[in-house]
Amino acid sequence: MVCSTQNKAGIPKNWILLDSQSTVDVFSNASLLMNICNAKTILTLYCNADKAIVTQKGDLKGYGTLWYYPNGIANILSLHKVQENYRVTYDSSTMAGFEVHKPDGMTRMSTPSKRGLLFSDVKRDTAQILVNTVDSIKNKYTVKEYSDACKAQSIQDIIGCPSIQDYIRYVENNMLPNCTITKADIIHGEDIL
């Protein structure tokens, strides 16, 4: 991963790269994130520009919490971390890139740039993203399902925002005493909120 200023890299700020060699999710474009705040821990990011100390996190809508490094050159999702929560497919015969399958049936493509970087251009998708509002999504669920989904999201925040996969494992293995939420509540919460 390269850690230098954005104007030296030539990577558009609205691209999200899907990186098979990255072990962390880290973004440099604050406009793609919500709730940017200081992290409870720090990340020492080793790259060809020596190392960078990352102290902030933010939320990527529809994905979860990731690291925020404003001096980075790209918005990077680790393929390893993405496939922990979503099914990812690749067909080398089409050279179309990776397809990330979301629980709601939607997919997002990461296609290769001319230089071979696998990216998804969120600027191009802005109109599509704005259509899926919370109100339109929550109408797919009953009032109880929506309420349970909100409760699941609240509990996830309280226990330190674990990944969806870890959170589901905690619930399924009864690691949260007296917790009444289910795996379905967690998945609905991720879809709605």
* Per-residue pLDDT at 27: 95
What pLDDT does 49 receive? 67
Low-confidence ranges of the chain (pLDDT < 50): 1-8, 126-132
- Considering the domain architecture, whether residues 65 and 27 belong to the same structural domain is answered as yes
Domain's final residue, options 126, 149, 177: 126
Give per-residue pLDDT as tens, 29-59. 999 999 999 999 999 988 776 788 999 999 9
Domain presence at residue 1 = no
Pick the last residue of a domain from 126, 159, 180.
126
Nearest Cα residue to 27 out of 49, 48, 11, 8: 11
Among 77, 106, 126, where does a domain finish? 126
In-domain check, residue 12: yes
CATH label of the domain that carries residue 16: 2.40.70
Let me know whether 113 and 143 are in one domain: no
Check whether residue 118 and residue 44 sit in a common domain: yes
Dist. CA 168–CA 184, nearest whole Å: 9
Same domain, 69 and 48: yes
**141 and 186 within one domain:** yes
Give the SS3 label for residue 108: strand
Element (H, E) at 161: none
Identify the CA nearest to 134 among candidates 65, 188, 186.
188
Considering the domain architecture, whether residues 51 and 119 belong to the same structural domain is answered as yes
Q: Do 118 and 139 share a domain, yes or no?
A: no
If asked whether residues 112 and 152 sit together in one domain, one would say: no
Domain hosting 171: range is 134-192
pTM listed for this prediction = 0.59
Judge whether 110 lies within some domain: yes
Angle between helices 164-172 and 183-192 (to 10 degrees): 150
Same domain, 28 and 46: yes
Asked if 25 contacts 43 with a C-beta cutoff of 8 angstroms, the reply is no
| Residue 112 CB partners (closer than 8 Å, separation 6+) | 95, 97, 118, 119
Q: How many domains does the chain have?
A: 2
47 and 70 within one domain: yes
Question: Using CA atoms, how far apart are residues 18 and 80, in angstroms rounded to an integer?
Answer: 9
Q: Which residues contact 46 (CB under 8 A, 6 or more apart)?
A: none
Q: For residue 100, give both structure tokens.
A: 């990330």
pLDDT at 169: 92
